[in-house]
Amino acid sequence: MNQPSSQVRVRFAPSPTGYLHVGGARTALFDWLFARKRNGTFILRIEDTDVERSSEDMTRGILEAMTWLGLHWDEGPYYQSKRLDFYRETAQRLVKEGHAYQDEGAIRFRVPEGKVTYDDAVFGEITVETDTIENFVLLRSDSNPTYHLSVVVDDIDMRISHVIRGADHISNTPKQILLYRALGASLPVFAHLPLILGPDKTRLSKRHGATSVMAYQDEGIVPEALRNFLALLGWAPGTDQELFNDEELIHAFSLQGISKANAVFNQDKLAWFNAQYLSRLEHEKLVRYLKPEFIKAGLWRDSLEKEESAWFKSLIDLLRPRARVLQDFPRQSCLFLDPNIEYDPAAVEKFLKDPKIKEHLQALASRLESLPEFTLQSTEAAVRGFADELGIKAGALINASRVALTGQSVAPGIFDVMTLMGREKTVARLRI
């Protein structure tokens, strides 16, 4: 089981019969982490022998999702559909050596008597009596290989040292071990990952929300957050740490930390992780993620991206603490970047209904217009000083100003808003 790190070779082998879902993504992540931890090789193999259900669109979708998630492979992608002759030759070899036989145009494996015992790196020793295993098909009557044949042939040929995959494959493993033995090959280490369940403890499915990885990109989740979240689904570092960068994850990861118990997918926890990363990502990386969202919202201008755009950095930093998804940034940026402002009727009714307050805002606008400098400190002093002169609570003036400037009763700090909005726009909006 303890192989030299130079020989560690793992594979992620999705079937392109659907898009990459979170279960597959977590398997890919664990394979990737294990390979990086052991200075090994991470291989991507597309298991596309199911001609009717596989599609190029799904294959492209898987590659796109893997790339977006940051799980870059070292070898591949290999395509099983291009290796069919290899599987057919192996099936014929097994027939010739007495391990398989022809059956109505198909080729079946002849299951020997005895038992299959293997040590799973997660679930421990597993034993299966072979009299519970039927003589299973290797090559169908149309000469296409079954999963058992193609996966074993490829894992042997690609020198896979560790097979890390979902626990739903535990029942397949004894059949595959029999094939390894028949082909005279040494066994890899098997590590089966617990299932991912929805909050109702049933198998994760669309009824629990998005399950496709790219759907999370569309929802404004950043890949760093999804990676971190997925890593802790069925694996624990042995400490209370929850936020990990890639280096920390690689350093902490081990097969021993994988739980036998099924993991529960918690959307609220993913949202928490995303909010944490949005508040921490370096500005340049965050802007790369934000640019498409600002373009969609019709708010992008090239000047925002320039290094000298300290204004845009200040805006992003102002919005970070309140953002849970990427779309929150353009949504909250409208009041700065869109000349048109939409007023919440409830906020107007609550804070701008009194004719006197409108008079106060007009006068405040003149005060702010004549300030020697327009800063966070000077605007706050002007507003609070004017409230004192009027004999009213500063909060009343601040709340009214917030609605006048943003259209909403809830917004970032009003003095941050004023300084980012600038003197001209602030004064114009207060003169409603």
Spot the catalytic one: 96, 115, 175, 206.
206
State the burial class of residue 240 (Cβ atoms within 10 Å of its Cβ: 0-12, 13-18, 19+): exposed
Cα atoms in the 13 Å half-sphere on the side-chain side of 281: 27
Q: Are 154 and 224 in contact (CB under 8 A)?
A: no
DSSP state at residue 145? B
Cα-based angle 424, 428, 432 (whole degrees, multiple of 5)? 165
- What is the helix (H) or strand (E) element at residue 96, kind and residue range? helix 84-96
Active site includes 175?
A: no
**Residues in Cβ contact with 373 at an 8 Å cutoff, skipping those fewer than 6 apart:** none
Write down how long the chain is. Answer: 432
Cα-based distances in Å from 87 to 143, 175, 248, 397: 9, 16, 40, 78
**How do 189-193 and 162-166 pair as beta strands?**
parallel
How crowded is residue 402: how many other Cβ atoms within 10 Å of its Cβ?
Answer: 21
Say whether 115 sits in a helix, a strand or coil: strand
Amino acid residing at 353 = K
Cα-based angle 209, 213, 216 (whole degrees, multiple of 5)? 60
Query: In the chain, how long is the greatest CA-to-CA distance?
Result: 101
Q: Are 235 and 253 in contact (CB under 8 A)?
A: yes
**Positions marked active-site:** 206
